[in-house]
Structure 1
Amino acid sequence: MHNTFIRVAEVWEPSADGALLELAGGLYGAAPAFGALSQGLCFGRAEGLPGHAWDEGRPILLERFEHSFFRRTAAAQAAGLGCALALPVFIDERLTCVVVLLCGEAATHQGAIELWHNDPRLSGDLALKEGYFGKDAKQLETLSRDAWLPRGSGLPGQAWQREAVVFMDQLEGQARFLRAQTAAAAGIVRALALPCSGRGRENWVLSLLSSSSTPIARRVESWLPDAAGKTLQRGFGHCESAGALPGGGELTLQSGGAGGVIGLAHAHGRAGVLAQLAAAPSELAGEIQRAGLSSMLAVPVVAEGVVSEVLALYF
């Protein structure tokens, strides 16, 4: 994870009695000392970043650690981390997990993470709630903070309308990406947006904007259930080394390795990590080996109370 915008990924799950969030797994290749500190932690409701996401029932993006409720500031800064995102996963108002992503310092990384929000009581549009923008992206940040996106408009608006992950490559030529020229000037070449689950009627969309020098992840995939609901099929994929990945291909819940983590995320609505891809068999083993990937995170996407899709991020 040394060359990616996302540097650390964690999954926090409710304890057996539901009183605390406990660490279920993490990817700390770029920040081993931060990972060692995290192993002994747990969070109550409204404690730390995971606990606040649980309590508020929504995604939270901390654009800086200072003067915030983040509990591991010194260790994060020592590891060269600059922001943190907490992404809670709810199924019918029940929290299944909180995914935490930590990113590199803006001064040394190209890319951006945006959290878009709609409160239907106040507006029919999405507006930027929180954002973290890497180097060379000041103009993009200014444009984004002033933008209002109707449902179906722009990348976040399309993810909101479809209730599904939307991926765009070669942004400079994408008419559907409304900030294409400004993003290209910031070195951003690819983007994906995913709708986020939460409590209540408010709508949230996370956008991940990726450069070639420090991509959000080294490989991204969307996995969708087939008509019978027995297997998962790849809807889209992009690998930094192999380019666009073909659709199709099947994963089953029983498979090992990356396929198993993806299948379990779909079956149980809980995100999962796999820290050593090479050590675990999978239908994807050949592709993973050729791309030189080492770890992955599987995030369930919830629509109308069920897991409709799994987003896989590889590092």
Structure 2
Amino acid sequence: MKTFIRVVELWVPDRTRMRLEFGGGLYGEGLSAFRDVSEDLHFGYDEGLPGKAWASGHPVILTRFTDSYFKRTDQAIAAGLTCGVAVPVFSGEFLQAVMVLFCGDDEAHVGAIELWHNDAETSHEMGLVDGYYGTADMFEFNSRHTRFPRGFGLPGRIWKAGLPLIIKDLHDARSFLRWEDAAKVGINLGVGVPYRTGTDQTWVLTFLSAQATPIARRFEIWVPVSWKPVMMEWAGSRWVLGA
């Protein structure tokens, strides 16, 4: 079974911190040629998909490789890849890595990837920056003309929670406001991840897929275990829990 996400790459700063070099990757079946080309590449600031995410300081989605800033167009098309997204990872002002995901679909494999954004200074809603929808034309049209308040729809719920979210059955989830359009094209599963820059910029990256084309073979969300301070008291010869 093919998955919607076909490739995962990590790009890390080189010794000079002026360029990004290949830091590892996972490639699906039949993608060895694309991997071989990628391993020898370097990207400068604002160059290629990894460099564009570095310069932007937030996730970047590329829905078409041809006639774009993408550097591996021929190899990506030959490998059946149709869109990509890059997510920069910063520690303060310093870039630590850029994660790049490449997705692929065809007439038999349906999937969508979206990037939503809210600027708190100008709006109380989240709008679509861009998205890849393959052959789901009507779903794309409605998505591009939809905005979500905080707490509504998949992007709005992730925005409010500030945490990743998985919805397994979109057609049964009335909180997914586009469920009717999604059901018509077979999309029934959604995964979303929030990304904040500063205090007033929120981005949400969503992956939507059909039963026959899962986003990935496995998705897991891990959260910190709740804890509370524990007071210890000395009881003559040993420490014991305090009241």
Instruction: Compute the TM-score of the two structures, normalised by the length of structure 1.
Output: 0.69
Q: Identity over the aligned pairs, expressed in percent?
A: 46
Distance 1:108 1:86 in 2: 25
Equivalents in 1 of 2:198, 2:160: separation in Å?
A: 18
What whole-Å deviation, never above 9, does each CA across 1:219-240 have from its counterpart, x for those lacking one? 11001122359xxxxxxxxxxx
In the alignment, is the contact (CA less than 8 A) between 1:59 and 1:198 conserved in 2?
A: no
Aligned to 2:194: 195
In structure 1, how many angstroms separate the alpha carbons of the residues matched to 2:4 and 2:212? Answer: 9
1:96–1:197 distance in 2 versus 1, CA, 3 Å:
farther
Aligned mates of 1:124, 1:92 — CA distance in 2: 26
Following TM superposition, by how much is the alpha carbon of 1:100 offset from its aligned partner in structure 2, in angstroms? 0.6
Instruction: Give 5+ residue unaligned stretches, structure 1.
Output: 230-315
Partner-residue secondary structure (3-state), 2:82: strand
Q: State the one-letter code of the partner of 1:223.
A: W
Q: Is the 8 A contact 2:133 2:140 kept in 1?
A: yes
Identify the residue that residue 170 of structure 1 maps to in structure 2: 169
Q: Which residue of 2 aligns with 1:50?
A: 50
What is the 5 A alignment of 1:270-289? Answer: none
Question: 2:233 is matched with which residue?
Answer: none
Q: What is the deviation of 1:151? A: 1.0
- Counterpart of 2:129 in structure 1: which amino acid? K
The structure whose Rg is larger is: 2
Q: How does 1:1-315 map to 2 (within 5 A)?
A: 3-30=2-29, 31-135=31-135, 137-198=136-197, 201-227=200-226
* Cα distance change of structure 1 residues 105 and 175 upon mapping to structure 2, 3 Å threshold: closer
Q: In the aligned structure 2, how far is the partner of 1:106 from the partner of 1:54? A: 30
Would you say the 8 A contact 2:158–2:192 is kept in 1?
A: yes
CA distance in 2, matches of 1:219, 1:62: 24
Alignment deviations for residues 64-109 of structure 1 (CA, whole Å, 9 cap, x no partner): 0011110000000111111111111233333221111111145442
Q: 1 CA distance for matches of 2:227 and 2:37?
A: 43
Normalised to the residue count of structure 2, the TM-score between the two structures is: 0.88
Structure 2 contact 105–111 (Cα < 8 Å) conserved: no
The CA distance in 2 between the partners of 1:22 and 1:188, in whole Å, is 36
Instruction: Count residues with an aligned counterpart.
Output: 227
Deviation at 1:121, TM superposition (A): 2.5
User: Matches of 1:116 and 1:189 in 2, distance apart?
Assistant: 19
What is the DSSP-based 3-state SS (H/G/I as helix, E as strand, rest coil) of the residue aligned with 1:141?
A: helix
Q: In structure 2, what is the equivalent of residue 305 of structure 1?
A: none
- Pick closer, same or farther for the CA change 1:129–1:4 going to 2, 3 Å: same
**Once the 2 structures are TM-superposed, how far is the Cα of residue 147 of structure 1 from its aligned partner?**
0.4
Counterpart AA for 1:8: V
The corresponding residue for 1:253 is: none
Counterpart CA distance in 1 for 2:124 and 2:8 is 33
> Cα–Cα, structure 1 residues 69 and 55, in superposed 2: closer, same or farther, change >3 Å?
same
Distance 2:84 2:120 in 1: 27
Is the CA contact 1:89–1:197 (under 8 Å) kept in the aligned structure 2?
no
- List gaps (5 residues or longer) in structure 2: 229-243
SS in 2 for 1:80: coil
Taking the aligned partners of 2:56 and 2:141, their CA distance within structure 1 comes to: 27
Distance in 1, matches of 2:108 and 2:89, equals 30
